[in-house]
Structure 1
């Protein structure tokens, strides 16, 4: 593990201490709200060597957290090698996965250096699950096995990602709280998001749910309230049935507080720094450069970060 220097701050006094690292852009799901990390599916992918180099350079500027994403990252046959390489430079490694393959890989992921995991599961009802994921096969039992395997392997905390969709699952939040209580998971309620030019689209108007009222209700019920330093997200401890369930609320839309507490830089699967999910034309190509030039590009990308909602 290399010694860390001070964070680089952008021009809005926001430090960058984490990378959201997209390792591929393919998936065995076709979720109706998927933003593909601001990329498309026709990407070439960085090699493990290239990924390690990016992480090594970022770590030299104080980055201490890596979130691995896709597509579906577990579809990469070399994902264990990638995690082992990242672990040489950064201790706090997490992953977002749809969980379909997790029950087969949880222990290997933990042994390689993965610390914690987010598992996407947006419905408990089979019909809703198939509609949201765009599949003809119901993988939900595999995902539930993956959640159990993640606990057994020690990938803690386990978070269940739940994108709230009007008319599909917005009336199932209590059911998901039941599920997360039973499975010792944090429920992460996520607002369906879109850039400004998509807010009047048919899909957004049809499915978007403003989470502020839900958030206010959770606040009233909570016995403990904390903030996730990333995006200043509220995290509530809610008395529920015969226990306590933790609920984190992710509200990015028209939320200047969310943006002002963004401390991450994105890396696309094909090797580009991306400053913001919702921005266009904010890519910095980082492949095929030596470390010194990559450091210059890292600084340039950080300095080009602008809060989307201001």
Structure 2
């Protein structure tokens, strides 16, 4: 059965502590990336209010959650994003971060920092405008604005900045060295992400078309590394590589058939419409709290059930 120790910190039945939460704020975006999974949710939904989000965060914090990441869609399209961050900061003393495509950062970075945001992950999946435009599937090429957003985040102190780069066969797999150079020049960590799918889609045309294993690249970086740190989330390494353009940190996110990845997952998800979700890759693992967002005792009960229901996807 579920047990609680260390000031309310909850562990699932596989001994994994839940100390972080990934909160989806919306399901709309000004990009239409070809690999987007929209955090495993539908695009049409009614979003939680800032007060409702705060109620859930308060419950999670009472159980030892001290790390929050906001996602979307594109979370910076929420007009009340600064209020959401401020309300969250009242309960979280640890790291609050946000994943964004960077387009809104030039005008919002400073306000986000003042509201209590610590850092950002910025999605930039190509170094050149042609492939960037192809991947994001937009009428306008936003790459120059994304680069402005990265600079705005640096100026505001939203660091360390991580650049998310989903590796895709025959599209951007030859741009890894270019991204390393870019991140070294822009004082950012490069996060190389494996194109993923659940078991049902693992042999789909899309997966076979785009998936590239990260191991060969990681072995090369491993040989070049001057230092290695350990990121406890998903038990992954962070390599420091010296380049002609300065030092750069590189992480590899390898979820596919990775038992170690799941074994060290410490995260519970919350969808934009108010449902706990135990795993991105599962489809029937929702715990609906939409009708109880004003009652912290009911949220607490459902939170416990969701934590107890967590099962490693790859095991």
Does TM, scored on the shorter chain, surpass 0.5?
A: yes
Aligned to 2:3: none
Aligned to 2:158: 155
TM score, norm. by length of structure 2? 0.96
Shift of 1:5: 2.3
Secondary structure at 1:172 match in 2: helix
Deviations 1:75-110 (A, max 9, x none): 000000000000000132100000011111000000
RMSD of equivalent CA atoms: 0.9
Secondary structure at 2:53 match in 1: helix
Shift of 1:287: 2.0
Aligned to 1:72: 74
2:298 aligned to which of 272, 290, 293: 293
Aligned to 1:110: 113
TM score, norm. by length of structure 1? 0.98
Aligned to 2:136: 133
Secondary structure at 1:293 match in 2: helix
Shift of 1:182: 0.6
Shift of 1:242: 4.0
1:98 aligned to which of 101, 106, 113: 101
2:270 aligned to which of 254, 267, 288: 267
CA distance in 2, matches of 1:243, 1:150: 19
CA distance in 1, matches of 2:242, 2:31: 34
Runs of 4+ in 1 over 6 A off after TM superposition: none
Query: 2:21–2:270: 8 Å Cα contact kept in structure 1?
Result: yes
Shift of 1:288: 2.5
Segments of structure 2 that go 5 or more residues without pairing to the other structure are 1-5
Aligned to 1:179: 182
Alignment of 1:1-310 (within 5 A): 5-91=7-93, 92-289=95-292, 290-310=295-315
CA distance in 2, matches of 1:60, 1:7: 8
Secondary structure at 1:213 match in 2: helix
Deviations 1:208-263 (A, max 9, x none): 01111111111111011111111112110011114211101100001001000100
Number of equivalent positions:
307
Shift of 1:6: 3.0
CA distance in 1, matches of 2:261, 2:86: 31
